[in-house]
Structure 1
Amino acid sequence: MRQPGAPTQRAESARGGLHRQLLLIFGLQLVALVLACLMGYYNVAPMGAVLLLIVIVSALAWLAAQRHWRQVRALAQWVDSWHEGQTELQSLHPDHALQHADADVAALARSFQRFANRLAGYNERERNFTRDASHELRSPLTVIKMSTDMLADEAGLSDFGRRSLERIRRATREMEALVEAMLILARETDPGQGEQDFVVNDVLRDELVDAREMLHGHPIELQFEEPATFALHGSPRVFAVLCWQLIRHASQYTGQGTVLVTVLPGAVSVCATAGADHDPHLPGQQGFEYAIARRISERFAWALDLRVQGGNSYVAEIRFPQPLPVH
């Protein structure tokens, strides 16, 4: 059974192609102009009448072309009224708006409507997934954190139990950071994530406190230098997750030693130096942490540059295109 509102193939064939109709219009115009020129050349009609005939033929051709081009304009207005976040498409009726349109224009309109419906469905599934994942992943992590806090208050806990408890705590914090990063990347339609003006130095100080706790037990020393101070307009949580991923990547690259985080004018760098027995490699070619950092930097247009200097010096630098002064 034919879908309601969908024209039959016979009706579409009867409309013909827009290019054929335009070809007919301008073909007839050319013939009329040639005849008018011949009439003027052989003095069949006065030159004034010939010029008037040329103007009339050109005006009629332009009006006919405008009549057919109105279909394309209607399609353009219909497409322009749609936006990516729109989920209600009942107001878009291509078969009604283009009821007498050319077959090619009508087919294009229906194809766009199908695409818009698919994209709206994708956006709805994305919102449902991020909402459900945020709740279902964070809830057990919260339970684990509360349980570890209660176990830490137990007086009779052995040294081995306390070491195991600290490992669970560190793994839980790392899992929280990973979940946060994945949810940030999954929210394609909401990149803002609570945008505000924040001071980069303040966010980094707080992040390094948590980073030191998560790296506790590893032969890694975190240092922080701030020869510059600036602010950004964006999500402080997104910025913190990006820096934490680079710190983790630098820590895995060096294995042991010092990881230095430095605030530069309009940029933040993460540097680490590997030991003499370390097999140097270009860390930008591997590492899940760097892959997440790269995707976050691309999402928010924060230029990320990663390189190895002197064979064993890891340097990652994030440059921000619009730093703000700190008042």
Structure 2
Amino acid sequence: MEGRSSQGTRQRWRGSFRARIAMVFGLQTLVVVIASVMAAYNVAPIGAVLAIMLCSGGLSWLAVSRAWLPIAALARLLSGWDPDHPDMEGLEVERGKGGDNDVVALVRGLHGLASRVEGFGERERNFTRDASHELRSPLTVIKMSSDMLADEADLSEFGHRSLERIRRSTRELESLVEAFLILSRESDQGLAEEDFIVNKVLRQEVDYARELIAGRPVELILDEPSAFALHASPRVFAVLCGQLIRHALQQTDQGTIVVTVMPGSVSVINPAVDAPDPGSRRHASVDRHGFDLAIARRLSDRFQWPLELRALPGASRVASVRFPNPQPVEA
């Protein structure tokens, strides 16, 4: 076994690019030394020695260039590589050519990596297509059924409370499904971009969020001292701001939450907590570990809308998103 292993190692070394280059330059050095000794002892004239050195240098260059051809071919193949449409046939051709063991190992590794990436892309497309249909369909049925139940005249007070909880949970689940479908895509392809006014989208999200605080001593206010437009996906913007608002609702037991539209930014301000309970989950410091907040952070990183979290004097918490390219409403 040891002899077979050492023999395989020697074969890999002999076939490697490093071994070939070392052999070429070793032979060239030997020729130069011999020619120099011949010139020193007047065995050959200076012109012949120079000719030998030049010929050895040219042959070395040709040998190195020939050894580099498989790597150059692989570089040309990868320079035009399209991750969405990988050229697996080209890699198969390069792998079938044989040649240098290092190049064969490199092509084999790239082929395996490209195959896995292609499989991941296919699973991503299947998931976003199937999940978009299979998750939204039952949510639509739940919403229609809850609307039908709301029309029942003999529904008890307990039934009305249960129905409102079902509606709130359905709204939250819709928001989560939308966020997960956006984040599951490798790129933002399929998300229609358009010019939209952020104030209009925020009004709708605030109205949705008010349904979640029915019966709670919490007030949600939209403050609009400014207005601006964006050229982006309104779905992504709505999901991002909706997650920030829901996170604020989860972190607030009572008080007023203010959603403010400033030039090029949107902020959500939680009320201060006068006497935080050390054993309570809710506290005055900025909470960076909420589930909705984690989704909002991933969305902001994905679409390069910087999200900033800070605590104001009085223990109020602020989550603000800046939009690099705001547009005037007239646009």
* TM-score tier (shorter): 0.7 to 0.9
Q: Secondary structure at the match of 2:256?
A: strand
Contact 2:217 2:254 (C-alpha < 8 Å) held by counterparts? yes
Tell me the residue number matched to 2:90. 92
| Per-residue deviation, 1:156 | 2.8
Is 1:310 aligned with 2:313? yes
Tell me the residue number matched to 2:227. 229
Measure the CA separation in 1 of the matches of 2:189 and 2:49. Answer: 64
Residue 167 of structure 1, aligned match among 165, 168, 180: 165
TM-score, scaled to structure 2: 0.86
Tell me the residue number matched to 1:33. 32
Tell me the residue number matched to 2:60. 61
| Per-residue deviation, 1:263 | 2.0
Q: Secondary structure at the match of 1:284?
A: coil
Q: Secondary structure at the match of 1:232?
A: strand
Residue pairs, 1:267-286, within 5 angstroms: 267-279=265-277, 280-286=283-289
Residue 240 of structure 1, aligned match among 215, 221, 238: 238
Mean alpha-carbon deviation: is it higher for 206-215 or for 48-57?
Answer: 48-57
What is the letter of the counterpart of residue 318 of structure 1?
A: V
Measure the CA separation in 1 of the matches of 2:264 and 2:34. Answer: 71
Give per-residue Cα distances to partners, 1:271-290, cap 9 Å, x unaligned.
Answer: 11223133434343321111
How many corresponding residue pairs? 318
Residue pairs, 1:1-327, within 5 angstroms: 13=12, 16-86=15-85, 89=88, 91-96=89-94, 99-190=97-188, 193-279=191-277, 280-310=283-313, 312-326=315-329, 327=331
| Per-residue deviation, 1:38 | 4.0
Measure the CA separation in 1 of the matches of 2:73 and 2:243. Answer: 49
Contact 1:253 1:274 (C-alpha < 8 Å) held by counterparts? no
| Per-residue deviation, 1:310 | 2.4
Contact 1:87 1:121 (C-alpha < 8 Å) held by counterparts? no
Measure the CA separation in 2 of the matches of 1:41 and 1:266. Answer: 80
Measure the CA separation in 1 of the matches of 2:96 and 2:79. Answer: 15
Measure the CA separation in 1 of the matches of 2:295 and 2:248. Answer: 14
| Per-residue deviation, 1:150 | 1.3
| Per-residue deviation, 1:190 | 4.3
Give per-residue Cα distances to partners, 1:72-101, cap 9 Å, x unaligned.
Answer: 112222333433223673x23435565142
| Per-residue deviation, 1:309 | 2.2
TM-score, scaled to structure 1: 0.86
Give per-residue Cα distances to partners, 1:237-275, cap 9 Å, x unaligned.
Answer: 111111111111112223221111122232221111223
Contact 2:74 2:94 (C-alpha < 8 Å) held by counterparts? no
Give per-residue Cα distances to partners, 1:148-168, cap 9 Å, x unaligned.
Answer: 111222233333332322222
Contact 2:284 2:316 (C-alpha < 8 Å) held by counterparts? no
What is the letter of the counterpart of residue 301 of structure 1?
A: Q
Measure the CA separation in 1 of the matches of 2:170 and 2:158. Answer: 18
What is the letter of the counterpart of residue 292 of structure 2?
A: E
Measure the CA separation in 1 of the matches of 2:36 and 2:195. Answer: 71
Measure the CA separation in 1 of the matches of 2:187 and 2:87. Answer: 16
Tell me the residue number matched to 1:3. none
Give per-residue Cα distances to partners, 1:277-327, cap 9 Å, x unaligned.
Answer: 334343433211111111111222221111222252101111223334441
| Per-residue deviation, 1:215 | 2.7
What is the letter of the counterpart of residue 259 of structure 2?
A: V
Q: Secondary structure at the match of 1:254?
A: coil
Contact 2:94 2:107 (C-alpha < 8 Å) held by counterparts? no
Q: Secondary structure at the match of 2:165?
A: helix
| Inter-CA distance 34–201: structure 2 relative to 1 (3 Å threshold) | farther
Measure the CA separation in 1 of the matches of 2:12 and 2:77. Answer: 24
| Inter-CA distance 29–208: structure 2 relative to 1 (3 Å threshold) | same
Q: Secondary structure at the match of 1:86?
A: coil
| Inter-CA distance 266–21: structure 2 relative to 1 (3 Å threshold) | same
Contact 1:74 1:98 (C-alpha < 8 Å) held by counterparts? no
Measure the CA separation in 2 of the matches of 1:51 and 1:323. Answer: 70
Q: Which runs of 5+ in 1 are unaligned?
A: 1-8
Measure the CA separation in 2 of the matches of 1:86 and 1:189. Answer: 15
The percentage of aligned residue pairs carrying the same residue is 54
